[in-house]
Amino acid sequence: MSRAVLSIGSNLGDRLAHLRSVIDGLGPRVAAVSPVYSTAPWGGVEQDDYLNAVVLVEDPELGARDWLRIGQQLEQAAERVREVRWGARTLDVDVVWCVEGGQVCRSDDPELTLPHPQAHNRAFVLIPWLDVQPDAVLEVDGAVRPVRELLAELGAAERAGVRSTEFALPGSARAAEGSVW
């Protein structure tokens, strides 16, 4: 069994439709979907705000590289172009955390670094993740830490930059109290 946390975002075109395309593309693999948030761009490149969400997925036959491949296929279907690092995009799908066979996946491969090396610095990942998995943990520098603690360590401006929206994605009602895993 493979379970993964995917962070999804869009700030070009029909942003909500791009996020919905991820849920549709993942189909029955979707275990939970966070609410949709609006966030300022991260990384210093001038651009429009993003819509962001987190999706928890699971499939007994997939591994971390499969989640990456599926995410890249969804990005390609949304006509994602990679021109500027941290630049505007129709769709971004990042594998943040993955567990295979009960073991946390770790990878130093530049194509798929796990756990995601910057997730602990990004409120737009941590806040929606906590919505669907309140007891979530993330390994940072070799230590497994509660996501709630990592979020509390971020600056107030970083946390305040993640704003609720009225938008909902298919499956978001499936998020339950407590851990879905």
DSSP bridge pairs for 103: 100
pLDDT of residue 40: 85
Q: For residues 95 and 116, is the Cβ–Cβ distance under 8 A?
A: yes
Query: From CA 57, how far away is CA 76, in angstroms rounded?
Result: 20
- pLDDT tens column, 51-82: 999 999 999 999 999 999 999 999 988 876 66
pLDDT of residue 89: 85
pTM of the model: 0.91
Q: For residues 174 and 35, is the Cβ–Cβ distance under 8 A?
A: no
DSSP bridge pairs for 72: none
